[in-house]
Copies of this chain bind each other. A is one copy, B any other.
Amino acid sequence: MLFKLSHIDKKARAGTLVLPHGEVQTPVFMPVGTQASVKTLSPQELSDMKAEIILANAYHLYLSPGTDVIENAGGIHNFMGWGKNVLTDSGGFQVFSLARLNRISDEGLEFQSHIDGSFHFLSPQKAIEIQCSIGADIIMTLDQCIEAGVSYEETLEAMNRTTLWAQLCADEMAKKSPGMPPQNLFGIIQGGMFDSLRKISAEKITSIGFPGYAIGGLSVGEEKPVLYRIIDLLNSELPDKKPRYLMGVGVPEDILYGIELGIDMFDCVFPTRAARNATVFTKVGKRSLRNLSLKYDLGPLDGECSCYTCKNFTCSYLRHLFKGREILGLRLASIHNIHFLINLVSLSRKAILEGHFSDFKNEFLSVYSGGRFLNIYGGQF
C-alpha cells in the first residue's frame, strides 16, 4: 500500500491511499457495513455518494454467513457487489461488546456467539485467517479492548497483550503466500486514557511496523477533551508517512477535531444508526425528522445539501415516512447522513490543500453547534 501525503496544514493532512480497489482520498469517512451491507443502502447508492471504502465486521461475517460462503464468492467485494475498497476489523471489539466472553488469555478469546450461543475461539492467528478469507483491502490486528474507567494495572495488562497479539498477527501475515490478494494489515494502539501507556503502546506497535496505524479504545464514554488530548498525543508519536485511523469515531465535531490533530481515516455506525432513528445532520446541528414542526415543511432537510434525499424530498414527506414506519424513510435519512459526512471530509480536504483548515473547522462548528463545540480542546493545534 502506498500512502501519498499531498499537503499538511499545521497538523491536518490531505493524502491518498492507493489500495487494491482504487484510490482513497484522505481524510476519509468510511461508512460501516457490519454484515456486508451498509444498512438500508445499495452499493450503487454508496458509489453515487462517492464512498471509496467501507468497513465490514469480521466477527459478524465469521458467524454469518461464515467465511466459507464469502470465499466461495471469491471474497467480500464479489459477495456484496461492491467494487471499491473494504476494511475489516479483527473482531476483537465485538467479542468484548457483543458476545459473551468466557475466557481471555495470551492465546486469544474464548466466547459464545450473540446469535446462537455457540462456542468459538479467536486467536490472533485466527483473526488473520478469517480476514484473509474475507479478503478486505485493509485488515486489523486483534486487540484487547477494555471498558472506560479501568485501572492502570488492567489497562497495562490489556496493552501488553495487544502488543503481543499485534506481533503474532504480523507473523501470521508474513507466512501468507505472496499469491494471496494484497491485504494491508494495520496495527492498533491501545492504552486506555493513560498518556504514558498510550505512548508505550505507540512505540511498541510502530516498532513492529505496519503499513498503517489505528487508534483503538477511544469514544467509549470519555470526555471530549480527553479524547482530543490522546489523539493529539498519539499523532506526534506515529510515523508521519503512514495513515492514521481513529476507530469508531464519526460525529461531525469529532471528525473535524480528529482531522485538525492529524487523523486520516474515520468510521462510525452513528450516522446510519441515528438515521434509522430519524436523526439527521444539518449545517445547523442534528435534527429529528419526527418533529411536529416539519408537518407542513416543504423545504428539504438541509437547503445546502446536494444528496438524493435533499434534492427530491420535503421534510413534510420525510416526517410522514417516519411516522408511518416506512422503510424508505430509513433509506433517505441514511443517504443524507452518509452524504453529509463524506461531504464534510471532502470539504476538509479542500481546506487543508488550500491551507485554511482551522478556519473551515471553526466556521463549520460555530454554525453547527452554535459555538458549543469550539475551543473544546485546550491543546495547541
Contact = CB atoms under 8 A, between A and B. Distances in A.
Nearest to A74: B298
Given A35-B320, A65-B320, A312-B81, A73 B328 contact: no
B39 A313 contact: no
Contacts of A295: 65, 69
B72 A298 contact: yes
A64 interface: yes
In this complex, the interface size class of chain A, counting residues with CB under 8 Å from chain B, is 35 or more
Contacts of A313: 81
Interface string A302-343: 000000100011101101110110111011100000000000
Given A295-B69, A298-B73, A35 B326 contact: yes
Interface in A61-91: 64-65, 68-69, 72-73, 79-81
Given A64-B323, A81-B312, A296-B69, A331 B35 contact: no
A41 interface: yes
Given A81-B317, A320-B35, A323-B64, A328 B69 contact: no
Nearest to A296: B72
A36 interface: yes
Interface in A24-65: 35-37, 39-44, 60, 64-65
11 contacts: A39-B326, A39-B327, A41-B328, A42-B331, A44-B312, A69-B316, A73-B298, A73-B317, A79-B316, A79-B317, A81-B313
